[in-house]
Amino acid sequence: MAETKRKKTIIANWKMNFTMHEASIFLHKLSDKVKAKRGVEVVLAPSIFTLQSLSLQVKKRQFKLAAQNFYWRDFGAFTGEVSIAQLKGIVDYGMVGHSERRHIFGEQDKDLRDKVAAALRSGIQPILCIGETANEREFGETGDVIYDQLVGGLTQVTSEDMKNVLIAYEPVWAISTTQNAKPCTPEDAEKAVEMIREHIRHLYGKKAGDEVRVLFGGSVDGDNAAGYLGVKGVDGALVGGASLKVDAFNSVVEKANALVS
Ligand code: 13P
């Protein structure tokens, strides 16, 4: 597998930051700065309420958009929810099961598999986020957690649909906002990503496991991005804190640019 020739996807997860006005100004600054090479795809995941206005401002060849979360039913009496079907034409990707959704909002695999299926039904690529907590890691459960979260989230996904699913490995203990966060070494990231590919091979066959796009997330910034993006089997990064600063995020994109040249 020629690692450096594979497309790199860099996603800015803005989480619950920026007002509509701030998001628009930030996007303006990013647009001036970020010049991704062919082979590097840059995706912005803003708060859901800014998606529509940003979709009118964004240059589609420069940035794609992603939903940070959505409900799995398409339409109906679900007060306060936004479905992925409603976001059709606005987003290319939908994040599913981010650790903050799992751990703060109690989302379970049964919710997540329906979200993965809903995104695929609407022609939007789901990004299934998985990763173990510090406790699970200490007890040597990383492999099992990864397996369970993959099986749990992919239950309704056929081999054909698997081509449109991305996996993001985000060890919870390495996310910058987690208490006592520690950096994940590129070696540890490589081991986990290989485990993910091995599980996908087991579930969907060798080709699917080799080709599934796997991203890494957890305190990625301009200083360490080259290390993670250079790891065998890592196809990109899901960036939180550093995506809120133009220069830091641009620096991550530039590290990806250097790998595809
Ligand atoms: P940080 O980059 O702030 O650690 O956040 C990672 C993350 O949760 C991205 O989805």
pLDDT classification of 14: cutoffs 50, 70, 90: very high
From 98, 100, 132, 254, active-site residue? 98
Query: How far is the C-alpha of 195 from the C-alpha of 201, rounded, in Å?
Result: 10
From 107, 132, 170, 254, active-site residue? 170
Sign for the pseudo-dihedral over CA of 40, 45, 51, 54: negative
Q: For the residues 51-78, what does the mean pLDDT come to?
A: 97
170 noted as active-site residue? yes
Q: What is the pLDDT of residues 220-260, one digit of tens each?
A: 999 999 999 999 999 999 999 999 999 999 999 999 999 99
CB 162 within 8 A of CB 208: yes
pLDDT classification of 5: cutoffs 50, 70, 90: low
Residue 238 CA to ligand 1 centre (angstroms): 7
Residue 239 CA to ligand 1 centre (angstroms): 5
CB 117 within 8 A of CB 84: no
Q: Helices 20-33 & 246-260, crossing angle to 10 degrees?
A: 40
Task: Ligand 1 pocket test: pick from 128, 220, 245 the residue with the most ligand atoms within 8 Å of its Cβ.
Answer: 220
CB 9 within 8 A of CB 260: no
Q: Which helix (H) or strand (E) holds 94?
A: strand 93-96
198 noted as active-site residue? no
Is residue 3 pLDDT above 80, yes or no? no
Q: For the residues 44-65, what does the mean pLDDT come to?
A: 97
Q: Which residues contact 170 (CB under 8 A, 6 or more apart)?
A: 98, 99, 129, 130, 131, 216, 217, 218, 238
Residue 252 CA to ligand 1 centre (angstroms): 13
Residue 46 CA to ligand 1 centre (angstroms): 13
Task: Ligand 1 pocket test: pick from 10, 14, 15, 95 the residue with the most ligand atoms within 8 Å of its Cβ.
Answer: 15
Question: Which amino acids bring their CB within 6 angstroms of ligand 1?
Answer: 13, 98, 170, 175-177, 217-220, 238-242
Q: What is the pLDDT of residues 157-216, one digit of tens each?
A: 999 999 999 999 999 999 999 888 999 999 999 999 999 999 999 999 999 999 999 999
CA 41 to chain centre: 12
Residue count of the chain: 261
**Considering only CA atoms, which of 152, 177, 181 is closest in space to residue 167?**
152
